[in-house]
Amino acid sequence: MNFKDEILRRRTFAIISHPDAGKTTLTEKFLLFGGAIQVAGAVKSNKIKKSATSDFMEIERQRGISVATSVMSFEYKNILINLLDTPGHKDFAEDTYRTLTAVDSVILVVDSVNGVEDQTRRLMEVCRMRDTPVIVFINKMDRDGKGRFDLLEEIEKELNISLHPMTWPINSGKEFKGVYNLHDQNLRLFSANTKAEDDETVSISNLNDAELDEMLGEKDAAILREDVELVDGVNGELNVDDYLKAKVSPVFFGSAINNFGVKEMLDTFIRIAPVPQDREATTREVEVMEPKLSGFVFKIHANLDPKHRDRIAFFRVCSGRFERNKYYHHVRLDKDVRFSNPYSFLAREKSVIEDAYAGDVVGLFDTGNFKIGDTLTEGEDFFFTGIPSFSPEIFKEVVNKDPMKTKQLEKGLLQLTDEGVAQLFTQFGGTKKIIGCVGELQFEVIQYRLLHEYGAAVEFRALPFYKACWLTSGDTKKLEDFTKFKQANTGEDKDGHIVYLAQSEWFLNTEITNNPEITFHFSSEIHK
């Protein structure tokens, strides 16, 4: 297959949702269809010993939530799909936001019982900022939830998007009978625990056919005819161009746990979802079909394999072809690097690849060379733009419970904060280590991983800080004086950049006013 065809057969997308909407379950079903796994795991069920493929960290299996983005590649109908399953919990939103910079489209899962929730709103805001095309999957139709028209209205209003139904549900909850495919004009009847292989669709070219009354009963058949006439009258055929420009979102109804309504969505996805796109960089726009390689690191994960202390950098190929054992230019470090064992993923399962193309996500074995946002090229100097970095909102001092394990603790803190879910600061005038996070749950994960992956037992002591600001100044003396007088509130991040930790908004504004020669930045991006 030639270079151009390889790129055109790739689809790279993320699944996003509020926690518990069924995102990881949906991921499992996609993998089943792609033949990547033979049996679906259950995210929370204790009855099934096999846990969900995409939840590979021990704490994820215990808590039944995803706390890190997983990458899975599989083929379906000769299309190579790179699927990124993201954490739903708000405390891990940073990981999700960064992942959204590495994909070309998104599937948003909405729980039909709970409708639109806080995290759903935040995620959609990020998609809108980037004009990312979105497909909506309304899940759990076999549970008693909101009415179909009410759900659509709520999603449109709350998320500020235009919806275009592609399938239509027949009832919901205990009365749920199936979905009608508006595009293919066929009916898929629901029975709980339908197997992935079952393909029980009934072609119905004419909804007035008496056969419909026999299958659904007269009352439900009449409601379906009325609904379809109304929906078709309002929407007509989907304009794929509007979807690609993020002006309209196709909608599917189903039940992921029963593998129902998923195939219709997957078939439509490979038909309409965008191929890898051109991307903005600091010096120019990088075209996806350029022959020279370029790409960026959007995630770093330590100890993917607990038996080996490995660090994997997740690298999105943006142009050209990535080749094993070839030297590439690391822009930030200004040095050439090569990779003898680049990986493709099925969650924790890794397999070494010879090459990869634009759209692919490659795992690069990292000895500490990479930071989030780093770019690899074939010699040109630029960075890809739009990779977010956040100022922490919660700060805690790290208290070492076992002084014999100080070395392991130092190493663990450095490696885990390199992943980008937390920031590490060292206070001036002492060795006090401070961790800053966006969400409370991240501290729990860090504590758990320090103990189980590095053997370092810690506890956290809350600190009264409100915000971290990175300081720069043309006057070195002013900066030195400031850090000397404000020792209790200043420190450095792990790259040696000076940081001011403000106790409150009032203190911060006062310092900004009193120190016009110093610039206060709310992100570490300035040091790129």
Mean pLDDT calculated for residue range 228-257: 90
Structure tokens at 393: 């909102």
Q: How many residues are given for the chain?
A: 528
Listed in order, strand segments (DSSP E) in 320-432 are 321-323, 328-330, 335-337, 343-346, 349-352, 355-357, 361-365, 375-377, 394-400, 422-427
Contacts of residue 149, defined as CB under 8 A and 6 or more positions apart, other chains included, come to: none
Domains of the chain, CATH where assigned = 3-272 (3.40.50.300), 279-377 (3.40.50.300), 394-527 (3.30.70.3280)
Q: By the 8 A CB rule, do 149 and 63 touch?
A: no
Lowest-confidence segment of 79-93, 270-284, 472-486 by average pLDDT: 79-93
* 262 C-beta neighbours (distance < 10 Å), count: 23
Task: Please tell me which residue, 62 or 189, carries the higher pLDDT value.
Answer: 189
Determine the pLDDT at residue 342: 82
Would residue 20 be called left, alpha or beta, if left means φ above 0 and alpha means ψ between -120 and 50 degrees? left
Task: Please tell me which residue, 184 or 318, carries the higher pLDDT value.
Answer: 318
Lowest-confidence segment of 167-171, 210-214, 248-252 by average pLDDT: 210-214
Residue 119 has pLDDT above 80, yes or no: no
Nearest to 109 by CA among 261, 245, 248, 299: 261
Q: What is the 3-state secondary structure (H, E, C) of 368-382?
A: CCCCCCCEEECCCCC
Structure tokens at 346: 């099925």
Determine the pLDDT at residue 7: 94
In this prediction, what percent of the chain has a pLDDT beyond 90? Answer: 29
Residue 55 has pLDDT above 60, yes or no: no
Determine the pLDDT at residue 515: 92
Contacts of residue 110, defined as CB under 8 A and 6 or more positions apart, other chains included, come to: 17, 21, 116, 120, 136, 137, 138, 139, 151, 155
Torsion angle in degrees (nearest 10) through CA of 513, 519, 520, 525: 160
Residue 42 has pLDDT above 60, yes or no: no
Listed in order, strand segments (DSSP E) in 196-310 are 201-203, 248-253, 279-280, 285-286, 294-302
pLDDT, one tens digit per residue, over 386-422 is 776 666 778 999 999 988 888 988 888 887 777 776 8
Determine the pLDDT at residue 136: 95
Residue with tokens 């499992």: 28
Q: By the 8 A CB rule, do 395 and 278 touch?
A: no
Mean pLDDT calculated for residue range 212-229: 87
pLDDT grade for 89, boundaries at 50, 70 and 90: very low
Task: State the DSSP string of 141-200.
Answer: TTSS---HHHHHHHHHHHHT-EEEESEEEE--GGG--EEEETTTTEEEE--TT--TT---
Structure tokens at 296: 């960026």
Nearest to 38 by CA among 361, 346, 348, 351: 346
Determine the pLDDT at residue 46: 31
Determine the pLDDT at residue 63: 47
Determine the pLDDT at residue 97: 75
pTM, to two decimals: 0.75
pLDDT grade for 308, boundaries at 50, 70 and 90: low
Q: What is the DSSP letter of 290?
A: -
pLDDT, one tens digit per residue, over 421-430 is 688 888 876 6
Residue 196 has pLDDT above 50, yes or no: no
Q: What is the DSSP letter of 134?
A: E
Nearest to 28 by CA among 18, 17, 9, 15: 15
Residue 65 has pLDDT above 50, yes or no: no
Determine the pLDDT at residue 49: 35
In this prediction, what percent of the chain has a pLDDT beyond 70? Answer: 84
Residue 51 has pLDDT above 70, yes or no: no
Residue 249 has pLDDT above 60, yes or no: yes
Determine the pLDDT at residue 205: 67
3-class secondary-structure state, position 488: helix
pLDDT, one tens digit per residue, over 336-374 is 999 988 877 654 455 777 888 999 988 888 877 888 889
Mean pLDDT calculated for residue range 71-77: 84
Determine the pLDDT at residue 47: 31
Give counts: helices (H), strands (E), the chain.
14, 31
Q: What is the DSSP letter of 347?
A: T
Nearest to 254 by CA among 493, 4, 427, 30: 30
Determine the pLDDT at residue 68: 44
Structure tokens at 81: 């799909």
Q: By the 8 A CB rule, do 109 and 15 touch?
A: yes
Contacts of residue 458, defined as CB under 8 A and 6 or more positions apart, other chains included, come to: 398, 399, 400, 401, 409, 447, 450, 451
Residue 45 has pLDDT above 60, yes or no: no
End-to-end Cα distance, the chain: 38
Strands 105-111 and 10-17: parallel
pLDDT, one tens digit per residue, over 130-178 is 889 999 999 998 888 888 899 999 999 999 999 999 999 988 888 888 8
Structure tokens at 407: 């070395």
pLDDT grade for 108, boundaries at 50, 70 and 90: very high
Task: Please tell me which residue, 43 or 121, carries the higher pLDDT value.
Answer: 121
pLDDT grade for 525, boundaries at 50, 70 and 90: low
Q: By the 8 A CB rule, do 90 and 119 touch?
A: yes
Tell me the C-alpha to C-alpha distance, in Å, between residue 250 and each of 101, 136, 293, 361, 391. 21, 6, 33, 26, 35
Residues paired with 139 in a beta bridge: 111
Distance CA(301)–CA(303), nearest Å, equals 7
